[in-house]
């Protein structure tokens, strides 16, 4: 058995866990940090003083360009430092835990006019001491992702800098003159993409940037485009002025494009360089200028005076009324255009109780003031929906409510939705609307009944033909023709019995009459079923209307909305009339069948073809 000392020794698993814990990498978000940075440039001498901090042993990138700089010495805490390069040619420095001071002394060649210092680590504080150099990318002790140093004094005999092209960008300003004035600016890189572009873009007079994280210094926007980024942009507001001056700066590192989008609220006249484009790809009036350095455009902006007339236009109105046994519900939809904000009154019918108001699908907390509802309109187009109820029950004569829109309107449509338990007899309203065609059909049936009673040769009198046609009209017009043809052919069959006709012709008459009798009886049975169980067919047509949905239209309205009225009775009245008609038809049909049999059997039921041959 192992001794007590061996029992107290840690197991291999515990030792391995301790080893992993001691050898794991440090848990820190930024193991190294650049606390402060001092940049001193005088003539061609560059000196960088970096204050570095490290939580543990780590490596940090240095703010040194890949080319364009001759490094003379790099000292870490007074000792020569050892650097190494990564595949992207960025220099790195190894640090131990603690505070360190790094000094870089370099020379800028005389042919280098632009020097970019990348800042892979953002310094907490930066100080500049430069002479004859312009620094871009620096605002009040803070710097962006790189600093750009541009030599101010340049010898004319100095050759151009090789390898690195100076930054060149295109600045596009879209000026929008609407209720609020705005300018949207986009900066696009036109130079090579393997180096950063640091430029200062001047603001327009009265321009105030609203986009966050945009650095502004002394009326200029500091634009810092890293190599992997091709463009940037921002939005800003403009102060209103009678004249807006657009001045192209005398700068060699960017060109400008100006575009103007003016709403009908403003009248703009331009003076200066001519336009290069008047309309855009969509055919909209968007003038465009492409100035050279130093050129100018003056935009004189005035607001046209309002012409006398209405400020509210109602382009469309639709009133839908749904009457019930005790109440009526109404829904009014309006398409309104307003040239300015105003309150627009509407007058509802007497006894109306407002239920809902929505403007552009947003519910409005509006209260009814007597019969009026005041709508808060804003400039532009809007869709208004009002709903109300009234104690107007469905009656024999029902009229739609009168609504006053408060101004003239166009394109009015009126819809009346009848209950399913009502029988429509008549409808009237605006010119373009429904018509009940049944009464015209009934008049044709009356004239036909008079003619058939006089010259048809059947025992049916005028009132019987009329009742038969009126009942069959609720089924189909073919049913009327079928039954009338059956009765007329039976009368014709009786007249043929006294004539000498061949057996084949006689037998064909018998077969046709037998089939026609079956079809006529089926049509009569179907008409009875339709009348007792189906819905009345009043043959309502016009403007997409039906028996329970009536639609009217009027193009121009000078005053209140037009009204319509209908005459209806309960559907039970129709059922009762059809029941009486069915009972009358049953009694009359017994007499007609007896008469029909006499006609069918006159002269015999069938003639043999063999006897005729013999």
pLDDT tens digits, one per residue of 486-526: 888 888 887 776 676 767 777 788 888 889 889 989 989 98
76-80, 158-162, 194-198, 291-295, range with the lowest pLDDT: 158-162
Average pLDDT, the chain: 86
Nearest to 96 by CA among 52, 60, 50, 56: 56
Nearest to 62 by CA among 41, 45, 83: 83
Please give the pLDDT value at position 153: 60
274-288, 567-581, 600-614, range with the lowest pLDDT: 600-614
pLDDT tens digits, one per residue of 147-184: 888 887 655 444 555 555 678 899 999 999 998 999 99
- Between CA 63 and CA 315 the distance in angstroms is 66
Please give the pLDDT value at position 332: 95
State the burial class of residue 603 (Cβ atoms within 10 Å of its Cβ: 0-12, 13-18, 19+).
Answer: middle
- Between CA 91 and CA 101 the distance in angstroms is 17
Please give the pLDDT value at position 159: 52
Please give the pLDDT value at position 423: 92
The torsion angles phi and psi of 206, rounded to 5 degrees, stand at 80, 10
Please give the pLDDT value at position 1: 47
- Find tokens 């073919």 and name the residue: 478
Query: Number of helices (H) and strands (E), helices first, in the chain?
Result: 8, 39
Tokens (6 digits) for 68: 């364009």
- Is the confidence at residue 549, as pLDDT, over 90? yes
- Between CA 68 and CA 195 the distance in angstroms is 12
pLDDT tens digits, one per residue of 270-299: 999 999 988 888 888 899 999 998 899 999
303-307, 517-521, 541-545, 557-561, range with the lowest pLDDT: 303-307
Percent of the chain with pLDDT over 70: 92
Q: What mean pLDDT do residues 426-454 have?
A: 91
Please give the pLDDT value at position 399: 94
Q: Identify the structural domains of the chain with CATH numbers, from first to last.
A: 32-151 (2.60.40.1730), 169-302 (2.60.40), 312-407 (2.60.40.1730), 437-601 (no CATH)
CA 540, chain centre distance (Å) = 37
Confidence band, pLDDT 50/70/90 cuts, at residue 577: very high
Q: CB of 267 within 8 A of CB of 305?
A: no
Nearest to 489 by CA among 516, 464, 467: 516
Q: What mean pLDDT do residues 569-579 have?
A: 92
- Is the confidence at residue 457, as pLDDT, over 60? yes
For residues 556 and 613, which has the higher predicted lDDT (pLDDT)? 556
DSSP state of 132: S
pLDDT tens digits, one per residue of 208-240: 999 998 888 888 888 888 877 888 999 999 999
Please give the pLDDT value at position 535: 87
Q: What mean pLDDT do residues 44-72 have?
A: 84
The sheet with strand 243-247 has its strands ordered as 243-247, 296-302, 267-272
- Between CA 123 and CA 102 the distance in angstroms is 14
pLDDT tens digits, one per residue of 88-125: 778 888 888 888 898 988 888 887 877 878 888 888 88
Residue partners of 563: CB distance under 8 A and separation at least 6: 399, 400, 401, 402, 414, 429
For residues 436 and 215, which has the higher predicted lDDT (pLDDT)? 436
Q: CB of 348 within 8 A of CB of 403?
A: yes
Q: CB of 52 within 8 A of CB of 86?
A: no
Q: What is the largest CA-CA distance in the chain?
A: 148
- Between CA 158 and CA 151 the distance in angstroms is 12
Confidence band, pLDDT 50/70/90 cuts, at residue 27: low
- Between CA 258 and CA 264 the distance in angstroms is 20
Please give the pLDDT value at position 226: 80
């Amino acid at each position: 058995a192992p001794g007590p000392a061996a029992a107290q020794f840690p197991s291999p698993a515990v030792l391995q866990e301790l080893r992993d814990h001691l050898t794991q990498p440090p848990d820190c978000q930024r193991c190294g940090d650049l606390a402060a940075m001092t940049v001193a440039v005088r003539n061609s001498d560059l000196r960088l003083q970096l204050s570095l901090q490290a939580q543990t042993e780590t490596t940090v990138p240095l703010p040194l360009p890949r080319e364009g700089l001759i490094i003379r010495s790099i000292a870490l805490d007074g000792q020569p430092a050892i650097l190494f390069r990564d595949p992207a040619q960025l220099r790195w420095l190894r640090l131990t835990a603690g505070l360190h001071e790094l000094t870089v002394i370099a020379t800028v060649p005389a042919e280098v006019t632009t020097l970019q210092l990348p800042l892979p680590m953002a310094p907490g504080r930066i100080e500049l001491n430069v002479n004859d150099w312009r620094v871009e990318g620096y605002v009040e002790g803070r710097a962006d992702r790189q600093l750009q140093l541009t030599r101010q004094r340049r010898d004319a005999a100095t050759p151009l800098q090789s390898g690195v092209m100076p930054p060149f960008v295109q600045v596009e300003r879209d000026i929008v003159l609407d209720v609020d004035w705005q300018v949207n600016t986009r900066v696009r890189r036109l130079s090579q993409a393997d180096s950063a572009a640091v430029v200062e873009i001047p603001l327009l007079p009265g321009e105030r940037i609203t986009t966050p994280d945009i650095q502004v210094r002394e009326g200029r926007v500091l634009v810092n485009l890293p190599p992997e980024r091709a463009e940037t942009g921002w939005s800003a507001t403009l102060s209103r002025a009678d004249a807006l001056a657009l001045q192209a700066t005398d700068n060699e590192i960017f060109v400008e494009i100006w575009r103007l989008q003016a709403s009908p609220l403003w009248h703009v006249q331009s003076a200066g360089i001519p336009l290069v484009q008047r309309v855009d790809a969509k055919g909209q009036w968007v003038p465009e200028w492409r100035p050279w350095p130093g050129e100018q455009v003056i935009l004189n902006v005035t607001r046209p005076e309002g012409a006398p007339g209405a400020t509210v236009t109602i382009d469309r109105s639709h009133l839908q009324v749904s009457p019930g046994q005790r109440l009526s519900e109404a829904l009014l939809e309006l398409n309104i255009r307003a040239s300015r904000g105003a309150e627009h009154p509407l007058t509802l019918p007497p006894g109306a109780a407002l239920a809902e108001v929505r403007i552009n699908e947003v519910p409005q907390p509006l209260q009814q003031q007597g019969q009026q509802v005041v709508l808060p309109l804003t400039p532009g187009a809007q869709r208004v929906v009002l709903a109300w109820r009234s104690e107007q029950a469905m009656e024999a004569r029902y009229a739609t409510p009168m609504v006053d829109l408060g101004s003239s309107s166009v394109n009015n449509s009126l819809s009346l939705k009848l209950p399913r338990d009502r029988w429509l007899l008549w409808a009237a309203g605006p010119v373009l609307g429904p018509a009940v065609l049944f009464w015209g059909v009934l008049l044709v049936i009356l004239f036909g009944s008079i003619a058939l009673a006089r010259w048809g040769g059947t025992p049916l009198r005028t009132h019987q033909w009329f009742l038969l046609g009126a009942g069959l009209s609720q089924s189909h017009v073919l049913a009327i023709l079928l039954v009338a043809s059956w009765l007329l052919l039976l009368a014709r069959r009786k007249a043929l019995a006294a004539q000498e006709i061949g057996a084949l012709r006689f037998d064909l008459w018998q077969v046709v009459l037998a089939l026609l009798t079956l079809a006529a009886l089926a049509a009569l049975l179907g008409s009875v079923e339709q009348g007792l169980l189906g819905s009345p067919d009043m043959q309502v047509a016009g403007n997409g209307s039906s028996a329970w949905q009536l639609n009217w239209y009027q193009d121009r309205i000078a005053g209140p909305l037009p009204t319509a009225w209908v005459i209806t009775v309960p559907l039970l009245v129709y059922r009762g009339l059809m029941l009486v008609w069915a009972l009358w038809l049953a009694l009359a049909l017994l007499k007609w069948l007896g008469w029909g049999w006499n006609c069918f059997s006159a002269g015999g039921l069938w003639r043999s073809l063999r006897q005729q041959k013999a």
